[in-house]
Amino acid sequence: MRTWHWLASLLGGAVWTASATLASAQVPLDAGRYGDPAGTVPYVDPASPAAAAYGMPPAPAPGWPDGAMAWPNVSPYGGPLVDRNSYQNGLWFNEQTFGRRKYFVLLSGTLNEFADPDDTMVGNPAAPHQFDFSTGVGTGQGTTQSRLQPIFEAKDWSDIPEHLTSGGFMGMMGFFNPDDSGVMFHGFWAEEGTAKLQLGLSGVDLNNPVDLARRAEDLLSAFTGGLPLLDGQLPNTLLPPFPPNQVDVEVPGGAQPYDIYYHLTYSAQAYGAGIAYYNDPFWKSGSLKLRPLIGLRYIQLRENAVFDAADSGLSYTIDPLTDRPDPATITGTVDILQSYLRSNNKGHFGGPEIGLRLDLGGDKFLVWLQTKAGLLAYHSTREIEGFGIVRARQLQTTVLPAAPAPATTRFHQQETTTSASPLFEQSIFAKAPILAYVPIVKEMRVFEKAQFQVGYTFTVLGGVYRPGNTVEWYGFPQFPQITDDKSTWYMTSLSLGVEWEY
C-alpha cells in the first residue's frame, strides 16, 4: 500500500494556519519624493529647466530675466540715492550722494506786530477840521471861547498811540532729500491785536442826564474831539483862504463836537498756511548753499476800525484855564448825541509764490534766510454800520434842536470785491542743539535730540482795503459810504521754537 507524503504536509500546514493569529505591517517604502504640503511655494532652480518640486509644472527658461543680472544691476548693498552727472567749467562731474531722507517738525510761539492804522482822517477832509473861536462868537453848541484856539479837533486813525501786537504760533513740517531738495508745509496763527485812543471819560452813564448836567464842569472837555462831516445842511461853513485859493470857500458841512468822550479802536488778526517745494541747490560753496523754491500760499486778514463818541448837547462858555465849561454859563437841557461807526474788512489771499533760500552752517549751527514773492488773488468783504453820524447842532440858533434818534440815523452797507495783491516776505532763522545744555530740559527725553530755533519774519501785502481808509464820511440825512481806497499792510513776527528731526 502506497503512502501519500504530500497529503501529510498539506494537512499539517492547514492545522498550523488555523491556529495562527492575524497581523498587519507597513507597506514597502517608495523611494520616490512626495509633493510639498498644500500652500507651499516650490523652489525653482533658475539654472534648471525642470521643476525642483515633485508634481510641479516646468520652471521658466534658465537664466535671469532681462535687466535683472546679479551684478552690477542688482546689489545686496544700498547704492547712492543721488547719482547724476553735471557739466561745469568744461569738465564733467559725477555726484553720488548717500544718506536718507530727513523729516522735521517745528513748533514755535510768536510775538506779532501788525501794521499801524494809516494817517487817514476820521471824518471828511473836505469839511472843517476844527472849531476856531474868538471872544463873543457863539456856535451851534452855544459855546464861546475868550481866545483864538482850535477846539474839538478832528483826529486821524494814526493818532492811536498804541501798537497792534499779539501772540500766536507758527509750525513747519516736511522733509529734505540727500540732494537737499524737499517739501515744507507751513502755517501760522496770530491772535487779534487791539489798540485804542480814549479821550474824555469812560464809563459815563449816558442814561443819567441829571447827573451829567450837575457835574458838567467836571465831566465835559473841549479837547476830546470833533467829526468833520459833509451833509448838505444849511448854513454852510465858511472856510478861510488856503493857498493857492485867495477867497473864502463855503462848504455844505461842518464839524460835530463831542464833549463827553471820543474813542477810536483798531484791531487786526491774521492766519494762513502754505506749501513749498525746494529744488536742489544751484550754488554751493563750503557750508553755503542757495536753492530756489516754488509754492502756494493762503492768508486771511481781518481788520476793524470803530469810532464811538458822545456829546452832551449843553450850551456853555469854556474856561480858558481849565478848558472845561464855566459852571456859571451852563444852560440848556442835556440831549445826548451818541455817534458810532464800525468799519470791518475781511480779506482772503491765495496764489503762487517763488523765492530763494540761503543756508549757512551745518548740523551744529545753521542760519538760513528765505525771500519770497508772489501775486495772490484777493477776495475782500468790506462792511460799515453805525448810527448817529450827524451834525445835531448845525443850526446856529438860540433854540437847540433835538438830536435825531439812533434808529433814524442807523445805516449798513456791504461790498465784495476780487482783485490781485502782491506779496513779499523776508525771513531769517537760526537753530542749534543747545537744549541739551539747559538744566531740567536736558533731562526730558522729548528734547533729547531737539534743536532750538529763533526767527524773524516780515510779510507785506499790497493793494489791501483797510477799514480806516474805506469810509467816505457823510452826515445825516446822508450816510457814510464805502470807498475803493487801497493801501499797504504788513506784519512782523518774532518766533521761538523747537525742531525735531527724524
The answer to whether residue 260 sits within a structural domain is yes
- Per-residue pLDDT, 469: 94
Residue 71 lies in a domain: no
- Evaluate whether residue 46 is within a structural domain: no
- Residue 10 parent element (H or E): helix 5-18
Quote the cell numbers at residue 121: 482822517
Judge whether 165 lies within some domain.
yes
Amino acid at 164: L
Q: What is the pLDDT of residue 135?
A: 34
Please tell me the total count of domains within the chain.
1
Residue 210 lies in a domain: yes
The answer to whether position 75 is within a domain reads no
**What is the model's pLDDT at position 467?**
96
Longest CA–CA separation in the chain, Å:
189
**Residue 426 CA to chain centroid, in angstroms?**
15
C-alpha cell at 376: 495772490
Tell me the sheet residues that pair with 369: 358, 428
pLDDT of residue 82: 63
Quick one: pLDDT at residue 397? Answer: 39
Residue 145: predicted pLDDT: 40
pLDDT of residue 131: 57
The predicted pLDDT at position 90 comes to 74
- 195/305 Cα distance (integer angstroms): 10
Within a domain: residue 147? yes
Question: Looking at residue 143, what is its pLDDT?
Answer: 42
pLDDT in tens, the chain (502 residues): 455 555 566 556 665 555 555 555 565 655 555 555 665 555 555 555 555 555 566 666 666 666 565 555 555 555 566 666 766 677 777 666 667 889 999 999 999 999 999 999 999 988 877 654 433 333 344 444 434 456 778 899 999 999 999 999 999 999 999 888 999 999 999 999 999 999 987 767 777 777 777 777 777 877 788 899 988 776 667 666 666 666 667 777 888 888 889 999 999 999 999 999 999 998 888 889 999 999 999 999 999 999 999 988 888 778 777 778 877 777 777 888 899 999 999 999 999 999 999 999 988 899 999 999 999 999 999 999 999 999 876 543 334 445 666 778 899 999 999 999 999 999 999 999 988 888 888 888 888 889 999 999 999 999 999 999 999 999 988 899 999 999 999 999 999 999 999 8
How buried is residue 500: exposed, middle or buried, by Cβ count under 10 Å (0-12/13-18/19+)?
middle
**Domain containing residue 322:** 102-501
Quote the pLDDT of residue 41.
57
Q: Is residue 254 in some structural domain? A: yes
Buried b (16+ CB within 10 A) or exposed e, 339-371: bbbbbbbbbbbbbebebebbbeeeeeebebebe
Q: Is the dihedral of CA 229, 231, 233, 234 positive or negative?
A: positive
Could you tell me the pTM of the whole model?
0.75
Q: What is the pLDDT of residue 132?
A: 47
